[in-house]
A and B are shown apart, each in its own frame.
Chain A
Amino acid sequence: MLPIPSERAQWLATNVLPLEPVMRRWLSRMARSDLEPDDLLQEAYAKLVALETVEHIHNPKAYLFQILRCLILEHVRRSQVVAIDAIVELEELQLSEDIASPERVLSGRQELERLLCAIERLPVGCRQVFMLRKLENLTQSEIAGRLKLAVSSVEKHLARALRLLFADFPAEEAAVARSRRRSGPKEEGRGES
């Protein structure tokens, strides 16, 4: 049983996950040393999970931006010393060009392509376990049986795969963009079917 209701997890995967790079770029440009983009994103996810419903959210990008803006304001208000420049920045906390332009956001499909490339680069054992779990839809114990591994090893491989595939998202994204420029046609073929 996964902790978040599957409908909400699906919504987050479709609507929020692809926005991460652009939001992160914007957050890091805010350049406040005490505000980590990843901290803010985690808090934003927490808020999105806590919502009773997401039906009213027609523009997830604007909504996420609004949440992040509120979070930043909260942090600024809580901090003992409010730097003047922070206040100035807050005035400029509008939907910036980055966020407004749709082409800067990875589409779900592009993100799947990124993921496929990233999976290719996983260590062999890790990749095998991850693919059996996610592409073949085997359970962890079925994978353990198939590969003659302890269930705890399967678990470790999966957690590691997730870390390697997702935790370092911005770096991955840049690497994929580079590799795509180099070997575009090969990867295109993979996505179709």
Chain B
Amino acid sequence: MASRKSAQEIMTTAYDWLVRCDRGLSTQEQAEFDCWMTADTRHLGAIARAQAQWTHASRLQIVGAQPLPKPAPPPAKRWIRSAWTAAAIFIAAVSVTLFTVQRYVGTHFDTTVGEVRRIPLSDGSSVTLDTNSKMALAYTSQARIVRLLVGEAFFEVAHDPSKPFIVEAGAVRVRAVGTAFIVRCELESKVQVTVTRGVVDVWRQGKIVEPAVRVAANGRVVATPAAVEPIVGVSEAEVARSIAWQDGIIDLQGRTLSQAAAEFNRYNEQTLIIEDPVLAKQPVVGRFHTNDPLGFAHAAAEVLDARVHVRNEQIVLER
């Protein structure tokens, strides 16, 4: 075999192929790749080694190294891309525990675990439903009402002053006033509202009519059964992180490992479990794909000196 390639040459070709695979192969490239892979057992080995290194490098995410000056922060870009001149954009989220079964008219939409779906609406608005979510539309001649029954959603609202756009999340009401905001309902009937642009009005629907709380850009309030309370010191970056799921990304800045696991578990059938209570409290950082709990588990294990066990539908992280 005079033309036998050296291990280094094969490795170089393997890196080229791996990067192409990462970008997505065309049909013709796929055929070439299959051909290359079967030509020599060392090719398979080289690809495996290259992918192991590639995978390993992803674990740097959790180290949170940030020496790179960014030309433009991605959240800002995302807003520019999705902003309409006369549109209000907001996200609303509701926890399952929030609702008693209620009657509603209109159209129902839902997503399964791991699914994120964009639904265009008749008035030019659109809704992007996050994983495992349910919502019902109740458009009348006076108002556009959206009931978020389960989960989380991102709304791009076509401007129409004659028909207010109102999100109902349990007892909490959020009215878009030509603006961008996030509503996230948490456990114990908590509803968090974060405004990214303009202003919104937040109030609780009950026997007593309450005055609405007005929330301005980069402001956040939490509505509990007791009150609607402002939260101080919310950064723009924090606001941007709340909508990363739209791009299939979980941004974990400063959450604990157990909070991170809970977040991954919203998107995946495979459950991430942290048994060790000390480990569970470890803060983590990093941007991960919502559908990659295993990658996250390994990255966390590496940095926190833990081990990953995969059994059936469970990924267990332990010391």
Contact = CB atoms under 8 A, between A and B. Distances in A.
Interface of A: 1-4, 6-10, 12-14, 16-17, 36, 38-39, 41-50, 108-109, 111-112, 115-116, 119-120, 127-128, 130-141, 146-147, 151, 154-155, 158-159, 162-163, 165-167, 190-191, 193
Contact of A50 (B24, B44, B71): B44
Contact of B51 (A3, A44, A151): A3
Nearest to A144: B23
A49 B45 contact: yes
B46 A2 contact: no
B63 interface: yes
Contact of B42 (A43, A158, A166, A190): A43
Q: In this complex, which of B16, B20, B51, B302 has the most chain A Cβ atoms within 10 angstroms of its Cβ?
A: B51
Nearest to A140: B23
B47 interface: yes
Contacts, number: 187
A13 B60 contact: no
Contact of B68 (A108, A128, A191): A128
A10 B294 contact: yes
Interface string B33-53: 100010001101111111111
Given A3-B21, A131-B68, A137-B61, A13 B56 contact: yes
A2 B51 CA distance: 8
Interface string B47-87: 11111111111111101111110011010010000000000
For the complex of A and B, the 5 pairs showing the least CB-CB separation, nearest first, are A38-B7, A46-B45, A42-B45, A45-B45, A12-B52
A83 B288 CA distance: 53
A42 B49 CA distance: 7
B62 to A, nearest CB: 9
B303 A109 contact: yes
B292 interface: yes
Interface size class on chain B is: 35 or more
A58 to B, nearest CB: 12
B74 to A, nearest CB: 7
Contacts of A49: 44-45, 48
B89 to A, nearest CB: 20
Given A10-B298, A43-B45, A146-B71, 7 more contacts: A9-B51, A12-B55, A13-B52, A36-B7, A45-B52, A134-B58, A159-B12
A112 B95 CA distance: 38
Interface in B237-275: 249
A39 B42 contact: yes
B6 interface: yes
B301 A1 contact: no
A131 B301 CA distance: 21
User: Interface residues of B: mostly helix, strand, loop or mixed?
Assistant: helix
Q: In this complex, which of B8, B12, B45, B68 has the most chain A Cβ atoms within 10 angstroms of its Cβ?
A: B45
A6 B55 contact: yes
B117 interface: no
Given A46-B42, A46-B44, A134 B57 contact: yes
A64 to B, nearest CB: 12
B234 interface: no
5 contacts: A6-B55, A38-B8, A134-B58, A137-B61, A167-B8
B138 interface: no
Nearest to B251: A137
Contacts of B48: 4, 8-9, 12, 45-46, 48-49
B57 A10 contact: no
A13 B20 CA distance: 20
Contacts of B7: 36, 38-39, 41-42
B65 A116 contact: yes
Contact of B22 (A2, A36, A45, A193): A2
A51 to B, nearest CB: 11
B287 to A, nearest CB: 5
A130 B68 CA distance: 11
A147 B71 CA distance: 8
Contacts of B171: none
A45 B49 contact: yes
A178 to B, nearest CB: 21
Contacts of B63: 112, 116, 190-191, 193
Contacts of A46: 41-42, 44-45, 48
B16 A135 contact: no
B19 A155 contact: yes
A155 B20 contact: yes
Contacts of A43: 41-42, 45
